[in-house]
């Protein structure tokens, strides 16, 4: 369960606890922690709910879990935990990083709590998960140590204040001596307190060589609930030896001063001399409005006590493969969808988040053979909906007019897409390879 506990959660916890927990009837097979529940929590919750994680409590043993059992049941039944906000009735449903619980797992957790939250036989307890060192790079277990790491300038995060948005530039010199291709990136706050205050951020590299060639792209994008970015095999992002990094970092105070916090971005490179078949500029920004400049939406205005939607369109002038979808709004955000209108006029809903929560910045990574593979001329239709009413539990004040702004109490409307643009031959090649895999999998 990867979230902070809100006041509403504590209230729900008290209500459930006051109601009491019933006991299982003698003729039912008792669901127990050791045989049934521990494995679910280890698999879906332990990456955050451990002594060094961002979760508010550790959930690695029965003794740690038992006091929270009623609240765990409530959060699971409401599908608030683990955080996975996709609408499961429309769009693509196959994702590489899906942390949601199945209906069977939800029923098992709820039944376990309803029937006494029994421990079971300790000898049947599964092995505890091997959790990475919280100060290490998440991708190091997969890719080894990064080829280089860059740090932002230091910034002191106040103990008690509104969220703080901080932008600075640093030089990018001396880390590579020739053009190279990036394989993966990861951005994080410093350990131990930086990882708790950095809500999301971007490190954007603008680079060049001495012949005037230029390239730009992210060397790190971070968000609570989002890991590092690994490009598909044979896909890379070109960078040159000289340039600058723009640090765009959004901090949330934690009731403790964090002095001289420095975010860090790690980069893994392909070997020298290697040119990938497909080239990308990494995760890219797409605005959900049709105004000039994209994000700078002069017409983003939410009246008090209102629900409002906005829609915008981007046309792909080249074929493209979309590998991930990451919506972004603020506290009044309610839903956001990505729809494709194909050149023949047909429409396809690609993904829709219907329970958006600004506390999380989840990057939904499409499965390999369902990732949208779109021809040139496709229109990407982005629809955002905000709830500025008292029914929105995240709304700080439903009586306020809300405009575009960088603070959490203001609003935004955009999304980030992992996108690789293709030429016509590459598009046809990927289509044929996917068709062959699907045919082989079906046994035809």
The pLDDT value given to residue 26: 35
Please tell me the total number of residues recorded for the chain in this structure: 444
Find all residues with CB under 8 Å of 72, minimum gap 6, and list them.
1, 59, 65, 81, 109, 113
Query: Domain 283-427 falls in which CATH fold?
Result: Jelly Rolls (2.60.120)
**In terms of CATH architecture, what is 140-278?**
Sandwich (2.60)
Instruction: Tell me if 157 sits within 8 A of 164, measured CB to CB.
Output: yes
Burial of 23 (0-12, 13-18, 19+ CB in 10 A): exposed
Instruction: Tell me if 380 sits within 8 A of 328, measured CB to CB.
Output: no
Q: In angstroms, rounded to a whole number, what is the distance separating the alpha carbons of residues 251 and 218? A: 19
Instruction: Tell me if 54 sits within 8 A of 65, measured CB to CB.
Output: no
The pLDDT value given to residue 164: 87
Locate the domains of the chain by residue range.
Answer: 7-124, 140-278, 283-427
Q: In angstroms, rounded to a whole number, what is the distance separating the alpha carbons of residues 265 and 217? A: 13
* CA-wise closest residue to 321 among 386, 368, 259, 267: 368
Q: In angstroms, rounded to a whole number, what is the distance separating the alpha carbons of residues 155 and 166? A: 8
140-278 against 283-427: fold identical: yes
Q: Which residues pair with 247 in a beta bridge?
A: 168, 203
Taking the chain (444 residues) in consecutive chunks of 10 residues, what is each chunk's mean pLDDT?
A: 37 38 52 97 94 91 97 96 96 96 96 96 94 86 96 94 90 95 96 91 94 94 92 96 96 93 97 96 76 53 94 92 95 96 97 95 96 97 95 96 90 92 97 94 78
> How many CB atoms lie under 10 A from the CB of residue 171?
10
| Letter string b/e over residues 83-117, b meaning 16 or more CB atoms within 10 A of that residue's CB | bbbbeeeebbeebeeebbbeeebbebbbbbbbbeb
CA dihedral of residues 423, 429, 433, 435 (deg, nearest 10) = 90
The pLDDT value given to residue 3: 38
| Letter string b/e over residues 346-358, b meaning 16 or more CB atoms within 10 A of that residue's CB | eeeebbbbeebbb
The pLDDT value given to residue 311: 86
What is the 3-state secondary structure of 272-314?
CCCCCCEECCCEEEEECCCCCCCCCCCCCEECCCEEEEEEEEE
Q: Is 139 helix (H, G, I), strand (E, B) or coil?
A: coil
The pLDDT value given to residue 131: 87
Q: In angstroms, rounded to a whole number, what is the distance separating the alpha carbons of residues 110 and 107? A: 5
What pTM was estimated for this model as a whole? 0.88
User: How far, CA to CA in Å, does 390 sit from each of 248, 296, 397, 444?
Assistant: 31, 27, 8, 54
The pLDDT value given to residue 23: 42
Find all residues with CB under 8 Å of 206, minimum gap 6, and list them.
214, 216, 243, 244, 245, 246
Q: In angstroms, rounded to a whole number, what is the distance separating the alpha carbons of residues 341 and 382? A: 11
Q: In angstroms, rounded to a whole number, what is the distance separating the alpha carbons of residues 3 and 8? A: 13
């Amino acid at each position: 369960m990867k979230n902070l506990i809100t006041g509403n959660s504590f209230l729900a916890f008290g209500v459930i606890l006051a109601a009491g927990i019933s006991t299982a009837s003698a003729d039912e097979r008792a669901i127990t922690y050791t045989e049934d529940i521990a494995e679910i929590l280890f698999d879906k919750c332990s990456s955050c709910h451990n002594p060094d994680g961002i979760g508010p409590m550790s959930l690695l043993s029965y003794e740690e879990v038992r006091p929270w059992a009623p609240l765990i049941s409530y959060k699971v039944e409401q599908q608030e935990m683990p955080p996975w906000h996709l609408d499961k009735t429309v769009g693509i449903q196959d994702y590489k990083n899906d942390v949601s619980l199945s209906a069977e797992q939800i029923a098992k957790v709820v039944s376990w709590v309803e029937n006494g939250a029994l421990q079971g036989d300790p000898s049947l307890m599964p092995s505890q998960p091997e959790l990475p060192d919280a100060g290490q790079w998440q991708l190091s277990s997969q890719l080894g140590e990064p080829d280089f790491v860059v740090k932002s300038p230091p910034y002191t995060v106040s103990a008690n204040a509104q969220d703080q948005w901080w932008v600075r530039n640093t030089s990018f010199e001396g880390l590579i001596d020739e053009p190279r291709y990036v394989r993966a990136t990861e951005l994080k706050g410093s350990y131990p307190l930086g990882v708790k205050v950095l809500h999301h951020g971007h490190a954007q590299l603008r680079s060049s060589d001495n012949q005037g060639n230029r390239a730009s792209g992210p060397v790190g994008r971070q968000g609570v609930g989002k890991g590092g970015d690994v490009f598909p095999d044979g896909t890379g992002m070109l960078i040159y030896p000289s340039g600058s990094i723009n640090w765009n970092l959004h901090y949330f105070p934690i009731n403790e001063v964090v002095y001289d916090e420095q975010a860090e971005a790690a980069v893994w490179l392909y070997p020298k001399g290697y040119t990938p078949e497909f080239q990308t500029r990494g995760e890219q920004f797409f605005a959900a409005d049709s105004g000039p400049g994209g994000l700078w939406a002069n017409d983003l205005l939410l009246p008090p006590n209102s629900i409002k939607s906005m829609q915008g369109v981007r046309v792909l002038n080249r074929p493209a493969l979309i590998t991930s979808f990451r919506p972004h709004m603020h506290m009044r955000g309610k839903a956001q969808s990505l729809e494709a209108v194909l050149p023949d006029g047909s429409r396809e809903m690609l993904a829709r988040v219907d329970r958006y929560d600004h506390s999380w910045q989840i990057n939904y990574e499409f499965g390999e053979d369902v990732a949208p593979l779109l021809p040139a001329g496709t229109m990407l239709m982005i629809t955002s909906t905000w709830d500025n009413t008292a029914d929105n539990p995240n709304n700080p004040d439903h009586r306020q007019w809300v405009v575009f702004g960088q603070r959490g109490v203001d609003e935004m409307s955009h999304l980030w897409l992992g996108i690789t643009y293709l030429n016509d031959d590459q598009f046809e090649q990927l289509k044929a390879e996917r068709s062959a895999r699907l045919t082989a999998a079906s046994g035809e």
